[in-house]
A and B are shown apart, each in its own frame.
Chain A
Amino acid sequence: AQKITQTQPGMFVQEKEAVTLDCTYDTSDQSYGLFWYKQPSSGEMIFLIYQGSYDEQNATEGRYSLNFQKARKSANLVISASQLGDSAMYFCAMREGRRTGGYNKLIFGAGTRLAVHP
């Protein structure tokens, strides 16, 4: 069964430094998608970045990059030059493959709470 694991319940980082949030996944599908969402204290879910299982390059979106290591089944989020506004809950998620019959369904990890200190 598909599963997402985020082993860091909480992380701290100094402003302007880089931070890596860990995510490992388990799936038997060859085709899948990996997502990161940010949830600030206001509660909304904000899409950050996507990585497809067949993408050869690591995804990047501004200060966010995804360190995709397919053989290790990891999809870590790297935030460069942290800002105070990056303090939030971060969720890693995986889209199930077509073969399982639920192509669009996302499976979420438990989340990592990031605190950025000045």
Chain B
Amino acid sequence: IAGITQAPTSQILAAGRRMTLRCTQDMRHNAMYWYRQDLGLGLRLIHYSNTAGTTGKGEVPDGYSVSRANTDDFPLTLASAVPSQTSVYFCASSEEENSYNEQFFGPGTRLTVL
């Protein structure tokens, strides 16, 4: 593994179903993030984690939950998917104390909720 991996690459999901998007990084970065990308809105932060064991809410957290049991993994769960959660989801990570904090992004997961 090099960088950030996300799984699945794409998924079609029935409304009301539970879904977990997986994200793994091998850079030993402290901070990790989940964004959703929607046309005309750019990327919006869903949840973040500054270090293993801690998480925080971003701009659009409703309907999503995250956990950070260890440094490498940061899964995003949709407890009961709704069509408005159709989007492309990006996981990212950064060194927390790096002076310029470039975020490295995963390849994205395209999710369609019907």
Bound together, the chains give a CA A13 to CA B68 distance in angstroms of 44
How many A-B pairs have beta carbons closer than 8 Å: the answer is: 61
**Cβ proximity bits A1-45 to B, threshold 8 Å, 1 near / 0 not:** 000101001000000000000000000000001010100000111
Partner of A45, one of B50, B58, B59, B90: B90
Which of chain A's residues have a CB closer than 8 A to the CB of B40?
Answer: 9, 110
Bound together, the chains give a CA A111 to CA B40 distance in angstroms of 7
Bound together, the chains give a CA A110 to CA B99 distance in angstroms of 25
Closest to A39 in B: B37
User: Given A91-B42, A106-B45 in contact, is the A44-B108 Cβ separation under 8 Å?
Assistant: yes
Interface residues on A, range: 20 to 34
Which of chain A's residues have a CB closer than 8 A to the CB of B105?
Answer: 37, 44-45
Bound together, the chains give a CA A27 to CA B7 distance in angstroms of 35
Closest 5 CB pairs of A and B: A45-B105, A108-B42, A108-B43, A110-B42, A104-B31
Q: List 20 A-B contacts (CB under 8 A).
A: A35-B103, A37-B105, A45-B43, A45-B105, A47-B102, A47-B103, A47-B104, A50-B102, A91-B42, A91-B43, A93-B43, A102-B56, A103-B50, A104-B31, A104-B48, A106-B33, A106-B103, A108-B44, A110-B40, A111-B42
Interface residues of B (CB under 8 A from A): 31, 33, 35, 40-45, 48, 50, 56, 58-59, 88, 90, 92, 94, 96, 99-105, 107-108
